[in-house]
Structure 1
Amino acid sequence: MKQDTRPLILHVIHHLHTGGLENGLVNLINHLPESRYRHAVACVEDFSDFRLRVTRPDTPVIALHRSRIGVWRLRQGLFRLCRQFRPTIVHSRNQSGLDALLPARLAGVPHCIHGEHGWDVDDLNGERVKPALLRRIHSPLVDRYITVSRDLRNYLVQRVHISSRRVTQIINGVDTVRFCPPSTRSQQLLPEGFAGPDAMVIGTVGRLQAVKDQETLLRAFARLVSGGGEVESRARLVIVGEGPLRDTLIRLADSLGISARTWFPGNISNVAEILHTFDLFVLPSLAEGISNTLLEAMASGLPLIATATGGNLELVTEGVNGRLFMPGDIDALTRLLSQYLGEPSMLRTHGGNAREMAVRRFSLPVMLASYQAVYEEFCDRR
């Protein structure tokens, strides 16, 4: 049997389930040239049905269950995987991926790339000493760092003291064919009786956890509709996603008196279609790398309201494709919601600008070309 000489890239991530990092990985595997690369995915913890989005049948996905077996057995498992698969590149991501670097080197892997895709939940500003120290200790094992945002690049250079020559920024790409503006806004996916034909739908998509801060959006929406004006009476809120705070957020909506105007559909597979029901997209996160959902909303032609943090500052140009507010500022978010709902022309203009920016600067082909350039640099050194 002829030996397969295509370079193998072993991707190491915490888990493979619904999320921005995971979505970007799936896009990478599915769209990089199949004739050029093979892939495998090692999950430090586990995977969900999200793995079925990997369309290439030659891509194994392995769960290592660190929380069950402990970190030392995890490292042994990673060592064995590297000896079995003989990857040309191990591409680890975020803090949990650091555990793959030493086993990879001991197993003879020639090249290691490490990606930073967002802030740890307990270190939203990158100020804790231990995470920075862990990254510094592992830095001799890394050939190249990839960050999705300028904010994360600066963290590695200034806080972890990684040479800027070793850091490449690659912003996530969005499929601008799948995510595109509809010919007309549709309400077919919304619950029956939830929104009338003249409703203004405010929406967000993201995991229901503290860092995404949907609570601020709920409280701002409640203040918006409490005014009782004609425009405000047409407002509806859709919060897409699943997570540990789902029940808490539903109870909060009830206590604020906005349950009838708020829909929690949970996780959905047809995000592109649900975005067609929105008039305005809001991302109230306390911290972000580069948000895939923000990019998908841009490509769908939606105006954006987002927090002035992390990679959001690279995606939202104030007054051009959206507006920014400080994390947790309920008053500011309420004002911005009111302004957009009261000015339909601004909705249209900013939505059109968002689509144009997504196509020109953040398309999937741009991202794929950037990753391929990095991979080729190291594949050529084998």
Structure 2
Amino acid sequence: MHDPTEQPPLVVHVVSQLDLGGMENGLINLITHMPAGRYRHAIVCLKDHGDYHAHIRERGVEIISLHKRDGKDLGHYLRMYRTLRKLQPDLVHTRNLPGLKGQLVAALAGVKLRVHGEHARDLCDLHGTRRRYRLLRRALRPLIGHFITVSAELRRWLIEHDGAEPERVSQIPNGVDSVQFHPRLGPPAAVGPAGFMQDNAFVIGSVGRMDEVKSHVTLVDAFLRLIASPHPAHQRLRLMIIGDGPMRAECQAMLSRAGAAHRAWLPGERTDIAQLLRAMDLFVLPSRAEGSSNTILEAMATGLPVVATNVGGNPELVHPGFTGILVPPCSPDLMAAAIADYCRIPEMGTRHGARARSQVIAHHSLPAMARSYLAIYDALASAAR
């Protein structure tokens, strides 16, 4: 039991950067749903942080950037060491491959309690098999008091490939705010540029950073195949991809070359994701690799059926024939066929979307997620005492 006269223990969360993204949103949700007064929090960003989560400072959360340069930047380890020595945290929680070496820095800085989270594999090691990173994880494993993964697939990977002891690896599913993300209550809002939405439009939507691993080009390819077909229902199709990144220009170019730019809207990063999800009829995640997608959970909470690739933690969220359809990665023809089913059979989407929201409410609440993290922090603190 924590003495209320003492200052709550400090947890320092080490992340690559604090931007608009699933892991970053998950961290903010965790901090805001932890019981008040149990732990204090600070966030250390290896690179920089935007202003998307500035509201978290109002809860007394300090956000520190180490300004790591691209490539090798040994100086950021010294900056991290000095930051940890200054903050004197009770526990350090690193995340993903970029934060892993922070475990060694935290140990050298005298931090006794150390947790590492795996939310998704790194872009340079999508399958977790590169020898260099495997050796790094094995070398640092003794320094880590406990591992947390967001999916059962990542938990199996840590145990089977990296030799982590099963009792030191916990799976905590991501949570989602089912109040903020709720089904639309009437006709869809008119979003996008003039002429994008029509009364009978069927909007295919996706949300995520537009880089190669998210493979939005596969979705664009599938969309172009559908609108090129003679089926009358396909003339209702519209495409909305929310997010920014290096592949956004390529996707826009594909649409322009096909003369379909007017039927698609790629507005870049947005902060009104909940409202835009309610303008969609189907959510599609075309990733080549995935941990446990927050955007899938947000779409399910919105009451949307989901077409997703059969990779990573997606099969743990999307149940084929019940809440959505799974397709192989990089298969635009099969993705197009799955989308066509929902476009042609609207009642199927209604059934699957309702089941998806029920699943989220039952198994992915934010308070339940926060309690699970709290239990691990408390157990490590008790064992240390």
TM-score normalised by the shorter chain: which range applies?
over 0.9
| Equivalent-residue separation in structure 1 for 2:70 and 2:305 (angstroms) | 44
1:255 equivalenced with 2:257 (yes/no): yes
CA contact (8 A) 1:26 1:53 kept: no
| Equivalent-residue separation in structure 2 for 1:232 and 1:102 (angstroms) | 55
Alignment of 1:87-166 (within 5 A): 87-166=89-168
Residue by residue over 1:303-354, the C-alpha shift from the partner in whole angstroms, topping out at 9 and shown as x without a partner, is 0000000010100001000000000011101111111111011010000000
Alignment of 1:219-368 (within 5 A): 219-368=221-370
Give, as a single letter, the amino acid of the residue that structure 2 aligns with 1:258.
A
Partner SS for 2:69: helix
| Equivalent-residue separation in structure 1 for 2:214 and 2:74 (angstroms) | 32
1:376 equivalenced with 2:349 (yes/no): no
| Equivalent-residue separation in structure 2 for 1:69 and 1:323 (angstroms) | 39
CA contact (8 A) 1:219 1:256 kept: no
| TM-score, length basis structure 1 | 0.97
Task: Tell me what 2:29 maps to.
Answer: 27
CA contact (8 A) 1:82 1:107 kept: yes
CA contact (8 A) 1:7 1:379 kept: no
CA contact (8 A) 1:321 1:353 kept: yes
- Which of 193, 218, 227 aligns to 1:191? It is 193
CA contact (8 A) 1:43 1:64 kept: yes
| Equivalent-residue separation in structure 2 for 1:340 and 1:69 (angstroms) | 44
Worse-matched range after superposition: 287-296 or 82-91? 82-91
| Equivalent-residue separation in structure 2 for 1:169 and 1:289 (angstroms) | 12
Residues paired across the two proteins, number: 381
**Aligned-pair distance for 1:50?**
2.0
| Equivalent-residue separation in structure 2 for 1:188 and 1:258 (angstroms) | 19
| TM-score, length basis structure 2 | 0.96
For structure 1, list consecutive stretches of 5 or more residues without a partner in the other structure: none
Aligned-residue CA RMSD in angstroms?
A: 1.5
| Equivalent-residue separation in structure 1 for 2:7 and 2:71 (angstroms) | 34
**Aligned-pair distance for 1:4?**
5.2
- Which of 18, 21, 30 aligns to 2:20? It is 18
Give, as a single letter, the amino acid of the residue that structure 2 aligns with 1:378.
L
| Equivalent-residue separation in structure 1 for 2:216 and 2:6 (angstroms) | 48
Task: Tell me what 1:5 maps to.
Answer: 7
| Equivalent-residue separation in structure 2 for 1:30 and 1:367 (angstroms) | 11
Worse-matched range after superposition: 114-123 or 187-196? 187-196
CA contact (8 A) 1:198 1:234 kept: yes
Give, as a single letter, the amino acid of the residue that structure 2 aligns with 1:160.
D
| Equivalent-residue separation in structure 2 for 1:343 and 1:307 (angstroms) | 21
- Which of 72, 81, 93 aligns to 1:79? It is 81
Give, as a single letter, the amino acid of the residue that structure 1 aligns with 2:51.
D
| Equivalent-residue separation in structure 2 for 1:148 and 1:71 (angstroms) | 29
| Equivalent-residue separation in structure 1 for 2:132 and 2:366 (angstroms) | 34
Alignment of 1:210-225 (within 5 A): 210-225=212-227
Partner SS for 2:52: helix
Alignment of 1:40-51 (within 5 A): 40-51=42-53
CA contact (8 A) 2:18 2:45 kept: yes
Worse-matched range after superposition: 127-136 or 189-198? 189-198
**Aligned-pair distance for 1:53?**
4.2
Residue by residue over 1:69-88, the C-alpha shift from the partner in whole angstroms, topping out at 9 and shown as x without a partner, is 95432222222122111111
Give, as a single letter, the amino acid of the residue that structure 2 aligns with 1:330.
P
**Aligned-pair distance for 1:185?**
3.9
Residue by residue over 1:219-251, the C-alpha shift from the partner in whole angstroms, topping out at 9 and shown as x without a partner, is 101111111322111110001001112211111
Partner SS for 1:122: helix
| Equivalent-residue separation in structure 1 for 2:170 and 2:58 (angstroms) | 27
| Equivalent-residue separation in structure 1 for 2:353 and 2:311 (angstroms) | 21
Task: Tell me what 2:211 maps to.
Answer: 209
Residues 170/255 of structure 1: CA separation in 2 closer, same or farther (3 Å cut): same
CA contact (8 A) 2:191 2:197 kept: no
**Aligned-pair distance for 1:51?**
3.0
Residue by residue over 1:115-161, the C-alpha shift from the partner in whole angstroms, topping out at 9 and shown as x without a partner, is 01101112211121111111111111100000111111111101111
Give, as a single letter, the amino acid of the residue that structure 2 aligns with 1:236.
R
Worse-matched range after superposition: 269-278 or 243-252? 243-252
CA contact (8 A) 1:201 1:277 kept: yes
**Aligned-pair distance for 1:99?**
2.0
| Equivalent-residue separation in structure 2 for 1:57 and 1:297 (angstroms) | 28
Partner SS for 1:90: strand
Residue by residue over 1:166-205, the C-alpha shift from the partner in whole angstroms, topping out at 9 and shown as x without a partner, is 1000111001111111112423233222121111001000
Residue by residue over 1:47-73, the C-alpha shift from the partner in whole angstroms, topping out at 9 and shown as x without a partner, is 111231425441111111221795432
Partner SS for 2:44: strand
